[in-house]
A and B are shown apart, each in its own frame.
Chain A
Amino acid sequence: MDSPESSKPESGHGWTGVQVDRIIGNLLRLGLVLSAAVVVIGAAIYLARHGGQTAMYHVFHRNAPDFRLVENIFGSGARFRGRGFIMAGLVLLIATPVARVAFSVLAFIRQRDYLFTAVTIFVLTVLLFSIFWLGLR
């Protein structure tokens, strides 16, 4: 009743609303559990290594090390390994709603709802543009 399908009386083809809802619910939960797990691993490493140091969040560091870089997670930059893991988990978390929108595009296509396919593709484009073009450069 809440899904793209429901307000469409001729729901003979594609996924049913309940199916779409279930998949979206599971997708969100999976993304959340995965990212939380990675963040917890990173937290353990970070706190074990740096827990005793003094916290310095009152000053904003414009040129802080880029924790998104893979070499900070797995490479020689062991000083940043914990925070690299945490960052990987956070990026996973940010990716979860994006995956949800991408899935909705598929769902609308399968329901032959082309107007909403276009709307959803627009939202997805805005998201990807923002994250990859404006963000992760």
Chain B
Amino acid sequence: MNILGYDTKNGGRGMTILTLTAIVLGVSLGAGFLGALTGLGGGVVIVPFLTLALGVDIRYAIGASLVSVIATSSGAASAYVKEGFSNIRVGMFLEVGTTLGAIAGAFLAAVVSPPVIAVIFGFVLIVNVFFSLAKHPGPASDIPAPSDRLAARLRLDGEYPSLRGIVAYRVQRVLSGLGLMSVAGVLSGLLGIGSGALKVIAMDRVMRIPFKVSTATSNFMIGVTAASSAGIYLHRGYIDPGLTMPVMLGVLAGSILGTRVLVRTPTRRLRLLFDIVIFALGVEMILNGLTGKL
């Protein structure tokens, strides 16, 4: 795993800050770019890269990753909001769960030992891949089920623009969705990721919100979720400015580039490639966690 020829146990010993910054900036750029193309976000690759390839302490890695997640979310959300896909009511209501979960997760991060965090991270990566590969049950909006009582009470139903004109949708199983969102929040706070995949699953598959609306709303929510654990990360010293700087700038620039070319690129193959990489990283994280190398 020592791809750079440095002693991984020593955080790239011998590397100057300038070299490290350049490498991290380059990889973060690529991660942000692929993350935007595949919709998985850049955070899932950053932590394994920093810890496995560069030997960075996992606490610094998740701190840097969490900050980059906020940057990507703000960037993506500002674009999506304009297009009218995101459902702000749904997002705001579910943020009750994600913010509380994220605080719990950030506290857990301090209690749980780094190797255990690495193992959990690895499992989350692998589960992500399985969900990504699993067949999608089909567009939810074609099933005209009535929205549940809570959704009606909160007026969560909405509509979005499509090629066929305005499509209305109904929201279901709000409480199950809220529960799953709390789990997404815990994982976000614990692992410094956006938990975008789980958020989309909660909205798209559980609450039966159309996929496009789910992804846009998820992007919108990720920044708020991450911000609620970022304060605790700051307090604990997880966010090191020297390391976070290239991660944040790289992921941000990469994701902006990624959303620009999103329209023209065949994403299925790319996504499969990304899935394979993430699966391998997940296995590597678990192995390194179990052997106590991280």
Contact = CB atoms under 8 A, between A and B. Distances in A.
Nearest to B16: A52
B60 A97 contact: no
Interface pairs A-B: 9 shortest CB-CB: A135-B231, A58-B11, A131-B231, A51-B18, A97-B223, A86-B241, A28-B78, A83-B241, A55-B20
A119 interface: yes
Q: Interface majority SS on B: helix, strand, loop or mixed?
A: helix
Given A2-B84, A2-B88, A86-B242, A137 B74 contact: no
A32 B89 CA distance: 23
Nearest to B71: A93
B248 A90 contact: yes
Given A25-B77, A56-B11, A90-B244, 16 more contacts: A2-B81, A4-B88, A28-B81, A28-B223, A29-B75, A32-B71, A32-B252, A52-B16, A55-B12, A55-B20, A57-B60, A58-B55, A90-B67, A98-B227, A116-B89, A131-B230
A22 interface: yes
B159 A1 contact: yes
A62 B235 CA distance: 10
A42 B244 CA distance: 12
Contact of A130 (B13, B84, B103, B241): B103
Contacts of B237: 60-64
Interface in B241-256: 241-246, 248-249, 252
A15 interface: no
A100 B21 CA distance: 31
B87 interface: yes
B240 A57 contact: yes
A97 B81 contact: no
Interface in A53-72: 53-64, 67-68
Contact of B15 (A26, A35, A54, A95): A54
A42 B241 CA distance: 9
Contacts of A46: 241-242, 245
A1 B84 contact: yes
A52 B70 contact: no
Interface stretch (B27-35, B38-46, B92-100, B265-273): B92-100
Q: Which of A21, A57, A101, A127 gathers most chain B CB within 10 Å?
A: A57
Give the dominant DSSP class at A's interface. Answer: helix
A11 to B, nearest CB: 12
| Most chain A C-beta atoms within 10 Å of own C-beta, residue among B20, B54, B89, B234 | B89
A94 B227 contact: yes
B18 A90 contact: no
A45 to B, nearest CB: 11
Contacts of A55: 11-12, 15-17, 19-20, 242
Contacts of B9: 58
Contact of A90 (B19, B85, B241): B241
Interface centre among B67, B82, B100, B231 (most CB of A within 10 A): B231
Contact of A135 (B54, B234, B245): B234
12 contacts: A2-B87, A28-B75, A28-B78, A28-B81, A31-B74, A51-B21, A56-B11, A57-B243, A94-B227, A119-B93, A123-B99, A126-B99
Contact of A32 (B17, B74, B243): B74
